[in-house]
Each structure stands twice: as structure tokens, then as C-alpha cells.
Amino acid sequence: MTLSEYLSKSLNTIKRANWYRQEKTITGLSGAIIELEGEKLVNFASNDYLGLASDKRLMEASIEAIYQYGTGSTGSRLLSGHRKLHEDLEGSIARWKNTEKALVFSSGYSANIGVISALMNQKDLILADEYNHSSLKNGAKLSQSKVIEYSHNNCVNLTHKLAKNRSDYRHCLIITDSVFSMDGDLCPLPELIDIANKYDCWLLIDEAHATGVMGKTGAGCMEHFGVKNDNIIQIGTLSKAIGSLGGYVAGSAVLIDFLRNRCPTWIYTTALSPADTAAGLKGIEIITTDTTLRSNLWQNIALFKQELTSLNMSFLPSESAILCLKSKNAESALNTSLKLRERGFFVPAIRPPTVPTSRLRFSLMASHKPEHFATLKQHLGYDKNLSEP
């Protein structure tokens, strides 16, 4: 079989299953209202929870950094890529996350892949929540450790698997999303910390959708649950609520020092660009000094739940800004998404292989308006086909 034949055959299989996906072009600034392929839509597809990606203050910080340092950072951090901006950003992340140190990466994805594979090897064991993000799964694979998945958020199942396997391996790392990206629920963090202590495991949590959203200062689920633990490896992204681009790791000084010397996705890649670094720094400054955006977001989450649960539809349990409406199958998720789009709403259908069961995923923003939820409710309630579980 030629390469092209193989690729076409695979694509046809994907299309037959209604799993085929394509990018869609947004013109202009992103926000709660966007212009998508010429249509004005209410945007329920953005990770920009606080609207900072189109905030003037971040744009100005980026532009200033470009004039000061140029567009590219010209090299890796250990060679010619390091600027004072990187240090400032890492200091600000560490203070916010209440850790000794932090390290920034080109993306959250590369942070996860690099950190997990730098810490673990063939002699080690990784226990991973079955619903973990792709970057955690691939980081675990790359490490060549034994990887065992436990049932989603199921501490009994996790404990059972540890009791059975832990003693056969040297080190053990438990890895989990803190806010599950395609479900919206939270990991049972206090219980996971207890289990990690009991079975001599390390713990890595991915705060991608928690950072800027959860906790009193938006520091994430660590803050939400009120746990302080220097041994926990906290990973996150600058690309969601913070409104920039890039990833980070926060933890003990010795962890960061080790990663600076052993983590390939930090060592062998070009440093984060001046513009992204400056926007990240400004985003964190705004999040940590002004609580209005986060309190608007949480008001919207409450309002959305109040409006839409009255329709008696099947939402997945959520404690975050991500709310998912169950669909029968991929086809029905796609149809509902298309119908909603005709009615002025951008709501993505999330299908396998991203998730085991298809769903419509709404992510809320601080800048959504009550009328956005009210009209959404009308459309969902009006057409029963739209809301069929």
C-alpha cells in the first residue's frame, strides 16, 4: 500500500465514524462574541475564561516587549534565549502558586511530556486517571515506565492497583488533571495526597483549566482545596485563563533545578518569545490583583447552571467553567452543534477519540451576558431534538 492510499483509507474510516475534524477560521478579536467564517456567534468554545487574550493591557505589554527584545528569543534558555522577563514570569508564577520555584515552557503540552519523561523511567510505575489529557498520556508513554490507568476519579480503584503493583517498581508517580478538560469535574486532591503518602508515590497535577479559575486568588485546585505541599508537581498553561501562550511547572527548588538539567522539552527548544512571556506576566498580575473577572465568571457559571438545569437535560457533573451536555452518539452531538450554530451559538461537539462518549462542551467566560444563556435555553428547550440525552 502506498503512503497516500494508507492515509486516504484511514481518513475514510474517520469520516464514516463521524470523527472527522477541521479547523474553523475566526476573524478579529476573540471574546464572548466572535465572528466565525463570516457569522457572528456567541462563543462557548474558548479557554480564555477571563477574556484576557483580547485585553488591551496584555497586548500593550506584548508590544512593549517586542520593541525591547524583538520577536524571537533566538535560542534555548541555557544558550542565548534567556531574558530577565523569563525570570520575572517564573518568580510571579512561584509566588502565586505558593511554591519555591517555577519554570516556563513553550506550551503546557511540552511541559507535561518533558517533565514526566524526565522524572520517570523503565524501573518506575505511573498511575494515571483514565480521563487524563493527551499530553499526560503521551508523557507517560515516552517515559517508558509501566503505565496503569485507574477508573476516573476512583480512589478505591487507584488504591487497589497500588496495593497490587507498587512493590514491583522503584518510583511511582500518580498523574491527573485537576479540572478534567473534557468533563469539568475535579480530581479528589486531598484523597490523592493521602494515597500518595501511604503508598510512597509522587503526585503530579495538571492545573491547565484550574489556573485563573479555581481558588481564592485563581491559583488553581491546590488553593481551592486549601492544600500546601512542596512535593506536589504542579503543571499548567499560560494559554488558557492567563490569555497568553506557554506552559509552566511549579514546585520545589530542587525539582526546578533538576528539570533545568534533565528536561529535554525545556533544554532543547527555543525560549518562550518575549511577547508571550510579557503577556503571561501581565495576565498573572491582573488575575492576582483584580478579582472582578473571576467573580464575573463564577456568577456566569451559577447562572448557566440555573438556567439550563431547569430544562431537565443531562449535564455531566461539573465544578468548573466547563459544562458538558451528554449526546447519544457522535452524529447527534454533531447535529446539535450544527443546529446551535445556525441559531448563533458556537458550541463544539467533542467526540471520540478525544473522549469515550460524545458530548457538547460549553466553556464559560467572564464576559458572557445573562441574555446569552437565556436565548441558549430557549433554543435548547424549543427543539427537543437538541436536548435529547
Ligand X SMILES: *Cc1c(COP(=O)(O)O)cnc(C)c1O
Q: Interface residues with ligand X (CB under 6 A)?
A: 107-109, 112, 133, 135, 177, 181, 206, 208-209, 237, 239, 247
HSE, CB side, 13 Å, CA atoms: give it for residue 76.
11
Using CA atoms, how far apart are residues 309 and 347, in angstroms rounded to an integer? 17
> Shortest approach of ligand X to residue 134 CB, angstroms?
8
Edge to edge, what strands does the sheet with 125-129 contain? 101-105, 247-251, 233-237, 202-206, 172-177, 125-129, 146-150
Q: Would you call 355 exposed, middle or buried from its count of C-beta atoms within 10 A (0-12, 13-18, 19+)?
A: middle
- Residue pair 211/241 in contact by the 8 Å Cβ criterion: yes
> Shortest approach of ligand X to residue 107 CB, angstroms?
3
> Shortest approach of ligand X to residue 389 CB, angstroms?
25
Residue 249 main-chain phi, psi, to 5 deg: -125, 135
Closest CB to ligand X among residues 18, 54: 54
- Residue pair 168/125 in contact by the 8 Å Cβ criterion: yes
Closest CB to ligand X among residues 109, 345: 109
CA dihedral 211, 129, 186, 93 (to 10 degrees): -20
Closest CB to ligand X among residues 49, 109: 109
- C-alpha cell, 214: 479555581
Amino acid at 229: N
> Shortest approach of ligand X to residue 359 CB, angstroms?
15
Closest CB to ligand X among residues 89, 208: 208
> Shortest approach of ligand X to residue 46 CB, angstroms?
12
> Shortest approach of ligand X to residue 143 CB, angstroms?
16
Closest CB to ligand X among residues 115, 376: 115
- C-alpha cell, 256: 526546578
Closest CB to ligand X among residues 237, 332: 237
CA 236 distance to own-chain centroid: 7
